[in-house]
Amino acid sequence: MSTALEELPPLINKNKDKKKIWRKLWRQRSLYVLGLPGVIVTFLFCYMPIWGLTLAFKDYSPALGLGSPWAENVSENFWFFKDPEFWYVFLNTIKISAVKFIFLFPAPIILALMINEVKVGAYKRLVQTITYIPHFVSWVIISGIFYVVFSYESHSPVNALLAVFGLNPVNLMANEKAFLPMLIVSALVKEVGWGTIIYLAAISNIDPQLYEAAIMDGAKKLAQTRYITLPCILPIITILLILRVPTLLSAGLDQIYNMMNPMTLRAANVTDIYIIRVGLLQGQYGYATALGLVFGVLQLTLALTANKIAKGSFGYGLW
């Protein structure tokens, strides 16, 4: 008797549940309408390109585009291990990213510390506003300005300055060796000011009593910074650090594409530029997609590894 009774309720509940689900769906229908555009757009512009990655495994034909037939010899598109330029591009990208990182990561922190020291309110705001502005100007314009200031054929202030010292004029923008330094300087100008916002906010959150106590103990400026300020903003620094690592493999297409010219092309050859050249220019869509796929996977691996390491050494990561 009891077993029969126990059996019965689940059956009825199943039907009830199904009905419940439909009713719930119907009641929430306007909610789904709200989310529909977002879902569609994501499908079109995120998932479809992911499907497009399969192009890496196909025999591309211009007429068929995405519908091209599957490649008979898949490794056809993956010959980049033999392509010397591939390795050059890969290493060059890492080199540029690493050097940029070394200069560009600490800079906002240092600047934030310095700005924080300023006691005159108006001056502080002025400096902040001035350093924030370049962030809002596009790379096209900043590159344009850099060309005007640094290249030879213009009436360049830099060359005028050099002339005062009796030195020969130089064209820094057309100089392969100067490309990386130019990248760093322009990136600093553009981003260092804006980067201080988060750090300044974090610094202002530090409990003043810590400083009072330190001063009582006779700590001078440097000691205060070393023992209070820096440790207190360490969590923020760590998180930002982890967030930066995955971008190691994309050395900043926006900036590089605009700053380069035929003379510096070799120095500027990074992954995205290589993909654009090979793909959009030379029409080797299959190969270019394969490149993109490989770089993407490497990037993902980097992100996961960085997170794991962060979890291990600092106890917290991104997720």
Residue 296's nearest CA partner among 53, 60, 52 is 53
Residues 64-93 that bind other proteins (CB under 8 A): 65-66
Q: Which stretch binds other proteins (CB under 8 A): 4-12, 74-82, 94-102, 190-198?
A: 190-198
Q: Which of residues 230-249 bind other proteins (CB under 8 A)?
A: none
From 8, 91, 102, 133, residue interacting with other proteins (rule: CB under 8 A): 133
Identify residues 260-289 at the interface with other proteins (CB under 8 A).
260-262, 265, 272-273, 275-277, 279-281, 285, 288-289
Please identify which residue in 215, 223, 234, 309 interacts with other proteins, judged by CB under 8 A: 215
Site size for other proteins, by CB under 8 A?
106
Identified binder of other proteins from the candidate list 101, 103, 211, 314, rule CB under 8 A? 211
Q: For other proteins, which residue of 138, 169, 301, 308 counts as binding (CB under 8 A)? A: 138
Minimum CB distance to other proteins, residue 313 (Å): 22
Residue list 144-183, contact with other proteins (CB under 8 A): 144-149, 153-155, 157, 160
Name which of 4 and 222 has its Cβ closer to other proteins.
222
* Binding residue for other proteins, selected from 104, 111, 242, 251, defined by CB under 8 A: 111
Nearer to other proteins, 29 or 75 (CB): 29
In the complex, least distance from residue 30 CB atom to other proteins, rounded to whole angstroms: 4
